[in-house]
Amino acid sequence: MAEIVTAAMLVIGDEILSGRTKDRNAGHLAEIMTATGIDLREVRIVPDDEAEIVAAVNALRSRYDYVFTSGGIGPTHDDITADAIAKAFGVPCEYDARAMALLEESYAKRAMEFTDARKRMARMPRGADHIDNPVSTAPGFRIGNVHVMAGVPSIFQAMLDNVVPTLRTGTKLLSATVQCLFGEGVIGGPLAEIQKAHPDTIIGSYPKYLDGGFSTDIVVRARTPEALESGRAAVEAMVAGLPK
Amino acid sequence: MAEIVTAAMLVIGDEILSGRTKDRNAGHLAEIMTATGIDLREVRIVPDDEAEIVAAVNALRSRYDYVFTSGGIGPTHDDITADAIAKAFGVPCEYDARAMALLEESYAKRAMEFTDARKRMARMPRGADHIDNPVSTAPGFRIGNVHVMAGVPSIFQAMLDNVVPTLRTGTKLLSATVQCLFGEGVIGGPLAEIQKAHPDTIIGSYPKYLDGGFSTDIVVRARTPEALESGRAAVEAMVAGLPK
């Protein structure tokens, strides 16, 4: 039996919703989840607003096996993710002793002042575990099934690399792509028939529009090599049978 | 009085959640909304699943002035957006006579068969208005406050260009950026004070991590030039006062 493990992502930040910054973390997480055998089922992007973050994280954590967040864990007044997550879990948000020690040592080494703003980065919900940050020290954290990570992509990626080995994974969704020089209008009918005949596959078709014409990537996905091959062969035979 | 108009985006597609395709439409919409004076408040990405699309579009359309969707309006079996939107509005999804005529003419001109799959692209919820598609003919549509557009970025953008002039817009959120060679740990404290003293601004700070050091873009946003200038000047004075 295929085991399904699900996940959702919550991207936090006004700068994403204003268009100033283009989110890259959701796309990166999507790739890693697929490679790992976890189904990313939903992404939400919300502003730096406590009520919005609380509502979204509670909606997602009750519905999916894992939730990953990015953004809002820096040292400034608009970094409110730790407080919001604590509120969502109904626990206090407090200075974590181990995080304080880590940061204090790191700033001391660099002969930099451990300002109150920097101390904010040691705040996390009571009972949270650290997610190590090899890039810039200030840790992310995990509480329950929610993993809270930085918004800066290089730090998000490094934190995620530390999280992945701790996750329960499901049966990987295998995939095969068949390229087709025809647009979806030609293959739509036969492809729907193939999907119907192969209910243990998920068949998607992705049009590319270039130089005034469409071509299509047909992607077959399945959780067993046998189902994948059977679906892929059917698609390939259909495409081969199209008029040249 | 500043008038606030809000919007949300719903990105539809398994290929985005699998990481196969990187969404570019949400970022583009965000930029256009900001330039237009509409606040993009939330983005959701959901799979090609009718129940998920219905639930998301109903949650978003009741909460925001406008909803924009991308994806799932092509000719194949996994293009289920029109049906899902019709279901969300409780109206039938049917072949639109004007869309059928447009598509029939377009395929006749190109001596291409108007297949059943292509006819699917003329389906829309009863009562919907067209959104013109200058790129590849098949129209998007608007029903109520929901604008349904294609997932292919060039088509999404062209459709959005046709939609924007029809939207009610609010007071534009002006913005000014102050660059700061210090990381957020240094400016976090004073910046929080400035935010408190300027409640009619939204001040965000966006760290950049490069070559082992942080620098920061401080972005001040406001709905009047006076509020913007007052906030910007305060931030600039603070940055100028930092030790060199």
Q: Among A112, A144, A166, which residue terminates a domain?
A: A166
Residues B90 and B112 in one domain: yes
Residues of chain B with pLDDT under 70: 1, 212, 244
**Are β-strands B174-180 and B213-222 bridged in parallel, bridged antiparallel, or unpaired?**
antiparallel
Q: How far apart are CA A46 and CA B63, in angstroms?
A: 14
Q: Which residue from B minimizes the CA distance to A194? A: B77
Q: Among A166, A192, A226, which residue terminates a domain?
A: A166
Mean pLDDT of A65-88: 96
How buried is residue B147: exposed, middle or buried, by Cβ count under 10 Å (0-12/13-18/19+)? buried
Q: Which residue from B minimizes the CA distance to A154? A: B209
CB contact under 8 Å between A42 and B43, yes or no, is no
Residues A24 and A130 in one domain: yes
CB contact under 8 Å between B18 and A175, yes or no, is yes
CB contact under 8 Å between A30 and B43, yes or no, is no
Q: How far apart are CA A202 and CA A194, in angstroms?
A: 10
Residues A89 and A158 in one domain: yes
B93: in domain = yes
Residues A116 and A56 in one domain: yes
CB contact under 8 Å between B77 and A221, yes or no, is no
Q: Which residue from B minimizes the CA distance to A118? A: B185
CB contact under 8 Å between A76 and B40, yes or no, is no
Q: Write the pLDDT tens digit of every residue in A92-108.
A: 999 999 999 999 999 99
Tokens, residue B18: 């699998």
Residue numbers in B near A207 (CB within 8 A) = 74, 152
Residues B194 and B118 in one domain: no
B147: in domain = yes
Facing residue for B42 by CB, picked from A42, A44, A112: A44
Question: Count of CB atoms within 10 A of residue B52's CB?
Answer: 17
A1: in domain = no
Nearest to B56 by CA among A59, A35, A184: A59
CB contact under 8 Å between B76 and A188, yes or no, is yes
Q: How many CB pairs under 8 A join A and B?
A: 202
Q: How far apart are CA B10 and CA A233, in angstroms?
A: 34
pLDDT of residue B44: 98
Facing residue for A18 by CB, picked from B34, B48, B207: B34
Number of domains in chain A: 2
pLDDT of residue A209: 73
Residues A67 and A121 in one domain: yes
Q: Write the pLDDT tens digit of every residue in B171-185.
A: 888 999 999 988 888
CB contact under 8 Å between A77 and B195, yes or no, is yes
CA–CA distance from A13 to each of A18, A79, A81, B127, B223 (Å)?
9, 9, 10, 36, 19
Q: Among B101, B133, B166, which residue terminates a domain?
A: B166
Q: Which residues have CB under 8 Å from A38's CB, separation 6+? A: A5, A6, A7, A65, A66, A167, A169, A170
For the whole model, what pTM was predicted? 0.92
Q: How far apart are CA B223 and CA B200, in angstroms?
A: 8
CB contact under 8 Å between B19 and A27, yes or no, is yes
Tell me the torsion sign for CA atoms B174, B179, B199, B27: positive
The mean pLDDT value of chain B amounts to 94
pLDDT of residue B1: 66
B189: in domain = yes
Facing residue for A206 by CB, picked from B21, B26, B188: B21
Domain residues for the domain of A194 are: 174-240
Residues A197 and A158 in one domain: no
